[in-house]
Structure 1
């Protein structure tokens, strides 16, 4: 019978590969090709806000116009308020503050920044878990290494998608409460939570691989113990036979 690691580890690698691809869809959002041009976290009506486009879409590196066109420059963790000018008029009051050159409130500035960073950390450890998955094909030790790396990736990525979801849901609600239309990007959040699900399944499979190999080793040890018992029983029988032969000659 094949060891669990021999078929669980390759299956885990497939899920990890899928998770990595979906994560890169998020990171590359804002590019002109499909489905990247449909990938954004939030789309909102920003007409009438000082310095803003009529329609604004927030992606990972970019703040863009309708259809992810007319994007600004690619910047790491860009403040969400860079969609408009400093101290803008007609913007939802919950979103504006002294952060990000007087464009963004403290809450949205730090929540998005931490979510942005945790996303990269989660991607980094997911890639490490993918390469560690090849070691998992060799046995329990490899499965343990891969599972620990995958658990680390799952921890940081869970923080990332949770923060991102909270930020943009609250941001959508702020636009709606101010009388503006706003909607979440189904591609961005579909890719984000799809990557989380694939990473979660891969982590579970690595952990099952450790347990499965442990059970196999235990059952093998049990058979070995049985053979030793049989040898001892045979040895006792032989010694008893020798005693009876000596008694007969005495």
Structure 2
């Protein structure tokens, strides 16, 4: 019963982790290819036609700043500065975004908020991949289930930090653009995938720890009962052995006495 419960928990955890990885890769690979859902996945979409050096429509993704439909993307840049949407310009952009970072395109706040969010998101992704491979044995092993749960717990921590920082950055950017009269909207696909992956990782972590604890006490009882039965069986075996030896000795002794009596009778006859 306990093994079956552990198998169910481990299998469900694997499915959830795999689903989370698919959603996370949709976000990371957004803008790479013009296909659904990658061409619809972005964190923020804004009308930047009035900003010098920017595209008419700018869409911020994980590695790129792209145009409408995630086309006309720039070069992929790790932890892409927010102001790379208007490199070489910036006139007409809200003052909240402008500063001395990212080739003098981005303010300190938006530069570091995105940088740490980008790194934590990537750390969460890598840790989740590791947890997936360690969880392959979770359906049949308490140790594997517990170890995978610990690894996935670290992944959840990193990923929570990354998604939270990204959400804070782009929600504030959305509000700043709208205050400046520039039409802007949050990307429902990117944040839907991101928070959906978070929920899947959270549930998988719980199931892995439940699988680790499933049947723990019952297994211990079975082991102790086996040891007890073995010890009892050994004791009974020893008692039987000594009884057999005692009966053999008594039989041998009675044989000797009978022989002695027969000799005495022969001598007096």
| 2:120 matches 1:118 | yes
Residue 22 of structure 1 corresponds to: 23
| 2:93 matches 1:101 | no
- The answer for unaligned runs of 5 or more in structure 2 is 237-269
Rounded to whole Å, the distance in 1 between the matches of 2:202 and 2:111 is: 29
Residue 56 of structure 2 corresponds to: 54
RMSD: 2.2
Residue 9 of structure 1 corresponds to: 10
CA deviation map 1:58-91 (0-9, x unaligned): 0111101111111111111111100013462110
Contact 2:2 2:215 in 1 (8 A): no
> Which stretch shows the higher mean deviation, 83-92 or 68-77?
83-92
- The answer for unaligned runs of 5 or more in structure 1 is 236-250
TM alignment of 1:58-77, pairs within 5 A: 58-77=60-79
Residue 215 of structure 2 corresponds to: 213
Residue 170 of structure 2 corresponds to: 168
- TM-score, normalization by structure 1: 0.87
Give 1:213 deviation, angstroms: 3.2
Rounded to whole Å, the distance in 1 between the matches of 2:218 and 2:58 is: 57
- TM-score, normalization by structure 2: 0.81
Structure number with larger C-alpha Rg: 2
Rounded to whole Å, the distance in 1 between the matches of 2:87 and 2:146 is: 51
Rounded to whole Å, the distance in 2 between the matches of 1:86 and 1:92 is: 16
Q: Alignment partner of 2:103: what SS?
A: helix
Matched positions, count = 234
Contact 1:87 1:102 in 2 (8 A): no
Q: Alignment partner of 2:46: what SS?
A: strand
2:188 to 163, 186, 189: 186
